Structure 1
Amino acid sequence: MANISTLDAGASPLHYYGFELRRYREAAGLTQRQLGEIINYTGSLIGQIETARKVPTLEFSQRVDAALGTGGALTRLVQLVLRSQLPPWFQEAAELEARAVEICAFQTHVVHGLLQTPAYVRAVLGVLNQDKLGDRTTARLARQRVFEKENPPVFWMILSEAALHQEIGGHEVMREQLAHLLTFEDDPRVNVQILPYSAGEHPGLQGSFTVFQFAADPAIVYTEGYSSGHPTANPETVRDCSLRYDHLQAAALSIKKSAELIRGVMEDRYGEQVA
């Protein structure tokens, strides 16, 4: 456990954030409790963040910046903090997401992290590991801020129909998750296509993968194993996976037909009537 009097600002982004939060608060002449009253958080939570025992959220950072007049310093810093909380093997993938101009993902069993709801995230991350689940959930959800950039990437997700039926977190969580997918039906930058069971054998049978396209750099293919990530810019691998993705897209339902299937599964499997 970190002690605020000995907190090493250089130990990690989380420690640096805590150090800066304390510095700004003390410069304003406020106690933890007083700051908490201003921003509607407990003084105890502020103490935990200042001692690097709790991961700050974007909303917390924005409120502190506004209250202390930091010029947005903590809001900028929190992005680095949240990325540092991702598993070390996944941090490079998060950086690829942040830099890409187009992301093409094929998912076999679960919705892609960029489109997951908070409850779905908790269910996925909580399997066999409840440690710091709240902080890990916050870190994963922070990745979705790529869609809030001035020039967000175009995102394509081809999702196996099996993922619609794989009940993660229970009926209510699945209803919410599928409803969330439907909110992108008319968004030209976020496109969801379902690969139906009727497609039979297909080029994605070897597993999920993502192709990242960049404005000036070569494309990168990313795959995952257990507790490991595998990015590669090998031209042959990129060509192979790009071709596989093209064929998967041809076999998948259109965006409109995909939305109809999602609605049908919500009604038939999860008991949700959707207009």
Structure 2
Amino acid sequence: MHIRELDPSASPLDYYGYELRRTREAAGLTQKALGSIVFCTGSLIGQIETTQKVPTREFSERVDAALGTDGVFSRLVGLVLRSQLPSWFQPYAEMEARAAYISSFQAQLVDGLLQTEAYARAVLGARDEGNLDGRIAARLDRQRIMDRTEPPAIWAVLSEAVLHQEVGGREVMRGQLAHLLALQKRRWLEIQILPFEAGAHAGLMGSYYLLRFQSDPDIVYTEDFVQGHMTANPQALREGSVRYDHLQAAALSVDDSAALIIRVMEERYGSEPEADGRELA
């Protein structure tokens, strides 16, 4: 059987595949044998070794346990997943992972940190399904910062339009809105909805992020359909902060925002028709 040769210096994914194959062969295991140990198919092992599939953190932890590699693959997978993000977005993702405070305003979509897997799949696959699983895994991996012992404080203001923009269908949207409600139970995360009734508001120029750090300069981040823009310019930070204050003031309170999410979820996405056309309660 022809075995694809990998250049381990080509990318983190290539290095991961190269090391997985090298370590597996050193242990005297076939792909099928390793697969049976880590609860997957030998085919999947082969696809990861040849960079056709992106490994997950769970897979990496099982491989470390199976091959006795002392956490090597668990540490490496973070670099692999980060590399699946667009190159222009990677610098922001690195800063996001270090931030102590994250404030965001989203005009059209749910913040990436707050997305469900199904919603992320619909968003990322809207125009391009290439390497979709890898890109989804990278987006969801960003959310690990919320599970730290000391997570960043996150404040998200979402336009009410976000709740009505049906991304992925009714079932996906219902799951996403339910996820937002569940996230609001975290004491360091607040979600406000900017209602349609607010009219003209400070966020009409588009979505953006403010990141604050314990010791590094604060930054403001915006993006267009081509690339992202990150700056620590004091004037930009001042403008972004003032605009955010106005957005928070115009938005519903956290409790009223939760009530609106519930109402939209029930009225717009509350029931799905059965196969015979009957409505489910």
Q: Aligning the two structures, in what range does the TM-score lie when normalised by the shorter sequence?
A: over 0.9
**Structure 1 Cα separation of the partners of residues 96 and 157 of structure 2:** 17
Give the Cα separation in 2 of the matches to 1:149 and 1:22: 32
d(CA) in 2 for partners of 1:5, 1:165: 47
Distance in 2, Cα, partners of 1:121 & 1:48: 23
Q: Deviations over 1:165-192 (max 9, x none)?
A: 0000000000000000000222111211
Worse-superposed segment, 185-194 or 223-232: 185-194
Q: Deviations over 1:116-146 (max 9, x none)?
A: 0011001001112111211211111111111
Contact 1:65–1:72, Cα closer than 8 Å, also in 2: yes
Partner Cα distance (1:184, 1:138) in 2: 20
Could you tell me which runs of 5 or more consecutive residues in structure 2 were left unpaired when the two chains were aligned.
273-281
3-state SS of the aligned residue for 1:169?
coil
Q: Deviations over 1:24-65 (max 9, x none)?
A: 212222111000001111111111111122111111111111
The CA distance in 2 between the partners of 1:168 and 1:57, in whole Å, is 25
Equivalent-residue separation in structure 1 for 2:152 and 2:254 (angstroms)? 18
- Once residues 149 and 16 of structure 2 are traced to their aligned partners in structure 1, the CA distance between those partners, rounded to angstroms, is 25
Give RMSD over aligned pairs.
1.4
How many Å separate the matches in 2 of 1:235 and 1:154? 22
Q: Deviations over 1:236-270 (max 9, x none)?
A: 00011011111111111111111110000011111
Partner of 2:33: 34
Where in structure 1 are there 5+ consecutive unaligned residues?
A: none
Does residue 184 of the first structure (1) align with residue 183 of the second (2)?
Answer: yes
**Structure 1 equivalent of residue 270 of structure 2:** 271
For residues 1-275 of structure 1, what are the structure 2 equivalents within 5 Å?
A: 4=3, 6-271=5-270
Q: Aligned partners of 1:15, 1:202: CA distance in 2, in Å?
A: 47
SS in 2 for 1:210: strand
How many residues align? The count is: 271
Q: Which amino acid aligns with 1:12?
A: S
Amino acid at match of 2:92: A
Structure 1 residue identity aligned to 2:154: F
TM-score by length of 1: 0.95
One-letter amino acid of the structure 2 residue matched with residue 81 of structure 1: V
SS of corresponding position for 1:244: helix
Structure 2 CA distance, aligned partners of 1:99 and 1:272?
A: 40
Instruction: Specify the SS of the correspondent of 1:6.
Output: coil
Q: 2: distance between equivalents of 1:203 and 1:184?
A: 25
Equivalent position SS for 2:156: strand
Q: Report the residue type matching 2:146 in the other structure.
A: F
Q: Which amino acid aligns with 2:110?
A: V
SS of the residue 2:155 aligns to: strand
Quick check: 33-42 or 49-58, which moved more? 49-58
Aligned-residue identity in percent: 61
Distance in 1 (CA, whole Å) between partners of 2:234 and 2:3 is: 49
Amino acid at match of 1:128: R
**Equivalent-residue separation in structure 2 for 1:78 and 1:54 (angstroms):** 12
